[in-house]
Structure 1
């Protein structure tokens, strides 16, 4: 079941937390949601799970530590463009693409439980469990555990499944689909996505394996409604 929703219906006026596997997922999947939260003053926190250091493997100019620092700066700029501040970011810095079985995950869950309780958060948004990337699946599992312990509404937002698998909803029986139009926050969302230059432009040109977001994918997520899936209880 799908329905067009509103910011108030999703949050009920309480602070929200967005768990992003990598710097850029927060803007691609939840940019309009975050922009509205910052504009409304209800409070929002962006939690970045990994350091994003695996997007350009083999670069001498941008080895993992330098790339992680660049991506952290890009995340801070994106949040600023959405109306937030660096204080609205919790950078966890786990190694990109290596979260499966990471021994730090239980500590991350405990930290996020305390953080959500301190903020008085009412909802937690994380990548949808159908996304194929291991870090996206880890983020989904962390969010499910935190939401169950703290008593939060848990929403999954699709990134790669939205683009690569038009039939992904077939795996989501028993989930409710909420569609949030970007509305007046579309420009802020587009600007936030553009802040992640390393993922959009040939900024790092010496990598053995280089990643770049497909322009059509970026356009789809920039202009279309944000999708949030909530498991029926």
Structure 2
């Protein structure tokens, strides 16, 4: 069955050209930020790692900031395990630098007034702290909040655990949940039955917002540059960014 196919993360994944040539993306129902986040609601972005909030949701965040919506960002981890064995980016440096990169990215989105909370859960360890994260989120959320986080079946363990914890906290508090695919674009294929396309909506980005999002990603120096100390290419290599820096974003409502 299609729904039982494994999610494969090897190689460069599904080319962006395949996604853009698929009529299904263009056919998604369009939705605006004002419909996603009503005037009297706070938008709470819950990101497993620094950069997920920009890669998956940066355009939405920028548009909401321009509309003067109340914004909050929960950084679940500090992303300090992104460069295993690196002498250029050891854990200690990443733990310091990645939150700095986040602040710079938010400024480039014109969203520097975001209320930021760092959970400081271990990078790669979110599933083991899922209950703890759920309880902390429950204490933060309000019934009028609209909470945006990574999809519960996105493929990355931290993304999925964050999605599950956020969903549980929304259920307990009455907050509205919106999920965002990030790694999905790598392992899935156009029309993939494992993806809830019926819940998918398309958020178009005007030229200014799109430019701000692209500029914000450049703030994540640790992620966009190759690592000569290990010989590994950038975590956010060009083929990854191609799929995440479109002039629209997709959310699951």
Q: TM-score, normalised by structure 1?
A: 0.88
The residue number in structure 2 matching 1:25 is 52
CA contact 2:196–2:252 (8 Å) conserved in 1 = no
For residues 102-181 of structure 1, what are the structure 2 equivalents within 5 Å?
102=129, 105-117=130-142, 121-167=144-190, 169-173=192-196, 175-181=198-204
How far, CA to CA, are the matches of 1:182 and 1:221 in structure 2?
13
Q: Aligned to 1:100, what secondary structure does the other structure show?
A: helix
CA contact (8 A) 1:48 1:92 kept: yes
Q: Give the whole-Å Cα distance in 2 for the aligned partners of 1:205 and 1:168.
A: 38
CA distance in 2, matches of 1:155, 1:82: 20
Query: 2:113, 2:71 → 1: CA distance?
Result: 12
Determine if contact 2:225/2:234 at 8 Å carries over to the other structure.
no
Higher-Rg member (1/2):
2
* Secondary structure, counterpart of 2:72 in structure 1: strand
**Aligned-residue offset at 1:174:** 8.1
Give the secondary structure class of the aligned counterpart of 1:213.
Answer: coil
Distance 2:31 2:189 in 1: 21
Report the secondary structure of 2:126's partner residue.
Answer: coil
Residue 168 (structure 1) shift: 6.8
TM-aligned CA distance change 1:86 to 1:107, over 3 Å: farther
Q: 2 CA distance for matches of 1:186 and 1:214?
A: 19
What SS does the aligned partner of 1:17 have?
A: strand
Offset at residue 185 of structure 1 (A): 1.0
- Preserved CA contact (<8 Å) 2:153 2:160: yes
Q: State the SS of the aligned residue for 2:161.
A: helix
Aligned to 2:87: 60
CA deviations on 1:112-165 (whole Å, 9 max, x unpaired) are 222222xx7531111112211110111110111111011122111111112331
Post-superposition offset of 1:66: 1.4
User: Could you say which residue in structure 1 is the equivalent of 2:223?
Assistant: 199
Please list every run of 5 or more consecutive structure 1 residues that lacks an aligned counterpart in the other structure.
none
Indicate whether 1:185 and 2:212 are aligned.
Answer: no
How big is the shift at 1:70?
1.0
Map of 1:75-94 to 2, 5 A cutoff? 75-85=102-112, 88-94=115-121
1:216 Cα deviation (Å)? 2.9
Displacement of 1:86 after TM fit? 6.6
Give the distance between the partners of 1:213 and 1:44, measured in 2 at CA: 26
Determine if contact 1:181/1:224 at 8 Å carries over to the other structure: yes
Q: 1:141 to 1:155 in 2, by over 3 A?
A: same
Runs of 4+, deviation exceeding 4 Å: 208-211
TM-score by length of 2: 0.81
CA–CA distance in structure 1, aligned partners of residues 232 and 244 of structure 2: 24
- Count of aligned pairs: 225
